[in-house]
Amino acid sequence: MSTNNKAVLTYGEGKTAEFPVLKATIGPDVIDIRSLYGKTGQFTYDPGFLSTASCSSKITYIDGDEGVLLYRGYPIEQLAAKCDFLEVCYLLLNGEMPNQEQNKEFVNTITRHTMVHDQMTRFFQGFRRDAHPMAVLVGTVGALSAFYHDSLDINNPEHRRVSAMRLIAKLPTMVAMAYKYNMGQPFVYPRNDLSYTANFMQMMFAVPAEDYKVNDVLVRALDRIFILHADHEQNASTSTVRLSGSSGANPFACIAAGIACLWGPAHGGANEAALNMLEQIGDVSKVGEFITKAKDKNSGVKLMGFGHRVYKNYDPRAKLMRETCYEVLNALGLENDRLFKLAMALEKIALEDDYFVQRKLYPNVDFYSGIVQRALGIPTSMFTCIFSLARTVGWIAQWQEMIADPEYKIGRPRQLYDGAPRRDLVPMNKR
């Protein structure tokens, strides 16, 4: 981080304090206020981190106004068109694209870590069959820390690397197990002759009674979903992983915390909510009525899959997802899919409506990813699990970056206390 100039704060009665401004490679520079309290005796107030950079990072860059998303400097459009998910994983973790040899070794390592300890099956079986798969995933990913003691020393880079590999490799197996358990079907073991994504699909959809046939168009679509969800800088779940990890907690526990955060409907639960919303609207003729409700603050209704904290333009991932949506529906002969038509009608009306235009509310990735996943045969209750699987690499790359950062400290925000001032306790008989 280089410093190029200073920011001067005027406060109190004509007092001033100077702060360095740290230069970003691209995007806004930041005012380094670490010395603010020491210099002024005051904190900053920024609930929701609207103007606060919680760390420096070299992994992902978003320009929300221009609709740009870069992983390690590479545009998401190029990665989605030319790479597979494991190449993107390598890039996020290591900072550079793999050459052929590095790629082969990485794929081989991930492939050979896909099985989970056999005793893990009992953890799954301990849940009610009707448990939400995300509840199962939070619990079972946390439980991994009870199985892999040989990679829990966070101060050992080799332990950190092995834990990262284990998490990326085992998440598909565990997500598929959560699904199979919920369905009442037997768990399906990983197959090392298949690609990462094809293997995940066979663990989800194969049954012992018949052969599973891999459909390349569908595998490519799911692989693209994984790529588009792999990282997204300091969003709520990633910040949760960093904050949990800042105390020295083990990576399995930190990723379980990230999964818990992702579950919320304002974050990873949005594609499930977007699809439910489309089902609820039901018909193109009801779109106008629904939009009116979404604009009314008292209705408690939002247009799910619309709006984003950072993108104030079309989410670049939503464009790619819309393209994938066409491909999948064509491959499956579902060009006239009711919900897809409804989504397009809704998007068209919302993009022309003053309320959405003024507030810069555009479709986000979740608006279309639910339709694609539904066409792939993935039930809505599994959508956030799929998102967790894909985001695990981003979480673990950000966690690794934090631990290796010499400036890393335990995360400990301050507060504006506006409760009662000091007072004395009144005995119970006098209250």
Name the residues annotated as catalytic: 308, 366
Cβ distance to ligand ACO smaller for residue 137 or 206 = 137
Beta-bridge partner residues of 62: 69
Amino acid symbol at 312: K
* Distance in Å, CB of 120 to ligand ACO, minimum: 28
* Distance in Å, CB of 307 to ligand ACO, minimum: 2
* Distance in Å, CB of 296 to ligand ACO, minimum: 9
Distance in angstroms (rounded) separating the CA atoms of residues 181 and 203: 12
Beta-bridge partner residues of 3: 22
* Distance in Å, CB of 298 to ligand ACO, minimum: 11
End-to-end CA distance of the chain: 57
Cβ distance to ligand ACO smaller for residue 202 or 235 = 235
Cβ distance to ligand ACO smaller for residue 206 or 372 = 372
Query: Residue 17: exposed, middle, or buried by beta-carbon count in 10 A (0-12, 13-18, 19+)?
Result: middle
Distance in angstroms (rounded) separating the CA atoms of residues 319 and 3: 37
Cβ distance to ligand ACO smaller for residue 161 or 267 = 267
Cβ distance to ligand ACO smaller for residue 297 or 431 = 297
Name the site residues for ligand ACO (rule: CB under 6 A): 266-268, 270, 294, 302-309, 359, 361, 364-366
The closest alpha carbon to 200, from 225, 237, 229, 236, belongs to 225
Cβ distance to ligand ACO smaller for residue 365 or 402 = 365
Cβ distance to ligand ACO smaller for residue 98 or 370 = 370
The closest alpha carbon to 174, from 289, 256, 249, belongs to 256
* Distance in Å, CB of 357 to ligand ACO, minimum: 11
Sheet holding 30-31, edge to edge: 2-11, 15-23, 30-31
The closest alpha carbon to 370, from 328, 422, 428, belongs to 328
* Distance in Å, CB of 365 to ligand ACO, minimum: 6
CA distances to 191, 318, 405, 431 from 421, rounded to whole Å, are: 63, 49, 39, 18
The closest alpha carbon to 138, from 244, 281, 266, 292, belongs to 244
Cβ distance to ligand ACO smaller for residue 98 or 269 = 269
Distance in angstroms (rounded) separating the CA atoms of residues 32 and 20: 6
Per the rule left: phi > 0, alpha: psi between -120 and 50, beta: everything else, 43 is beta
Closest residue to ligand ACO, judged by C-beta, is: 307
DSSP state at residue 420: -
* Distance in Å, CB of 267 to ligand ACO, minimum: 4
* Distance in Å, CB of 304 to ligand ACO, minimum: 5
For the chain, give percent helix, strand, coil, nearest 5. 55, 10, 35
CA distances to 164, 202, 222, 400 from 395, rounded to whole Å, are: 10, 25, 19, 9
Query: To which H or E segment does residue 55 belong?
Result: none
* CA 31 to chain CA mean position, Å: 27
**Contact at 8 Å (CB) between 313 and 66?**
yes
